């Protein structure tokens, strides 16, 4: 799959299991996986980190084929999901770090462009989340690039 703001395909990606069914060697039941996920969610671990922990510590390759729903859906059902989805939160933190950098180095044109691209991703993703109902309609991200010029 091609990147959004570059004309390259990229090599770095995850290799997902080929089958959509749970593997035959898996010893955990759906209830055990659900309870592990909820336990980690109550500890404040993010959905992606829960997936990594389940894979590395418990040998569970994918949660969705086992329990029939994603980790984020399971956390939302149990009222453990954050108010802002994790990928949008990561983009907001990334934009904040670039803004802090640009406060010190105002003439860094490359990172001004980088901030523009990050903000474009934030707008696109927040529009999508508003449409599907994961974000409230009054969510607004204030652009910083316009303030820099």
CB 116 within 8 Å of CB 145: yes
CA distance 102 to 108: 7
115 plus 140 within the same structural domain: yes
Report the domain count for the chain: 2
The predicted-structure confidence for 73-93, as pLDDT tens digits, reads as follows: 999 999 999 989 999 999 999
DSSP state of 143: P
Prediction pTM value: 0.82
Domain that holds residue 91: 86-148
The predicted-structure confidence for 89-146, as pLDDT tens digits, reads as follows: 999 999 999 999 999 998 999 999 999 999 999 999 999 999 999 999 998 988 776 5
Is 47 a domain residue? yes
CA distance 79 to 41: 10
pLDDT at residue 38 is higher than 90: yes
Is 99 a domain residue? yes
CB 58 within 8 Å of CB 36: yes
């Amino acid at each position: 799959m091609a990147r959004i703001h570059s004309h390259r395909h990229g090599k770095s990606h995850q290799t997902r299991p080929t089958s959509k069914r749970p593997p035959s060697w898996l010893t955990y039941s759906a209830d055990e996986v659900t309870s592990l996920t909820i336990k980690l969610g109550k500890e404040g671990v993010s959905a992606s980190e829960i997936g990594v922990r389940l894979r590395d510590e418990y040998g569970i390759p994918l949660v969705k084929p086992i329990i029939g729903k994603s980790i984020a859906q399971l956390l939302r059902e149990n009222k453990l999901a954050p108010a802002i989805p994790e990928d949008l939160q990561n983009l907001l933190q990334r934009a904040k770090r670039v803004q802090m950098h640009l406060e010190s180095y105002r003439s860094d044109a490359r990172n001004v462009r980088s901030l523009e691209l990050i903000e474009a991703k934030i707008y696109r993703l927040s529009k999508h989340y508003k449409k599907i109902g994961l974000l409230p309609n009054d969510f607004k991200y204030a652009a910083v690039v316009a303030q820099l010029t």
